[in-house]
């Protein structure tokens, strides 16, 4: 059965979509924008600060759904400038220390709200 996941510890959806959807032990997290859920605004700073906020938002959604970063199997990172890849990667690596998920990273022309990065995530409950 499909379950909609929502938490106030991550930014609310800025369009007609859910923060995440869980079905059959798989969690699909919508692209997270670097919005601070307390202020409702994009965090100040550059790619490092924005990547950190995106990862915090992903973490809040994972936790809300009963998952963790170790359950993540796939990430898709979209950057408005591939010159930011190295700095993004350094922050991203803090959250995936071992058994790294599969990942794609793309440079795109423009992201919502002028963000420098957004990340989409898929997590799967490991069988015991």
Q: Give the C-alpha distances (Å, rounded to integers) separating 27 from 19, 22, 32, 95.
A: 10, 4, 14, 17
* CATH number of domain containing 24: 3.30.1330.40
- In degrees and rounded to multiples of 5, residue 96 shows phi and psi of -125, 85
What DSSP designation does 74 have?
A: E
pLDDT on residue 126: 75
- Given the structure tokens 């800025």, which residue do they identify? 14
pLDDT of residue 128 exceeding 60, the answer is no
Residues 100-112 pLDDT 10s:
999 999 999 999 9
| HSE-CB for 81 with a 13 A CA cutoff | 9
Query: Domain residues for 97?
Result: 3-124
Q: Are strands 102-107 and 35-36 parallel, antiparallel or unpaired?
A: unpaired
Query: Can you tell me the distance from the alpha carbon of 14 to that of 72, in angstroms, rounded to the nearest whole number?
Result: 23
Mean pLDDT of 14-30: 95
pLDDT of residue 54 exceeding 90, the answer is yes
Mean pLDDT of 15-31: 95
The number of folded domains in the chain is 1
């Amino acid at each position: 059965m499909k379950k909609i996941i929502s938490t106030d510890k991550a930014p609310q959806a800025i369009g007609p979509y859910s923060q995440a959807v869980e079905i059959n032990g798989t969690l699909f997290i919508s692209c997270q924008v670097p919005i601070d859920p307390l202020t409702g605004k994009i965090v100040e700073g550059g790619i490092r600060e924005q990547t950190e906020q995106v990862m915090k938002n992903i973490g809040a959604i994972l936790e809300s759904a009963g998952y963790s970063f170790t359950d993540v199997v796939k990430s898709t990172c979209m950057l408005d400038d591939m010159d930011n890849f190295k700095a993004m990667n350094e922050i991203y690596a803090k959250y995936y220390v071992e058994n790294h998920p599969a990942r794609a990273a793309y440079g795109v022309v423009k992201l919502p709200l002028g963000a420098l990065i957004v990340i989409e995530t898929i997590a799967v409950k490991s069988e015991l």
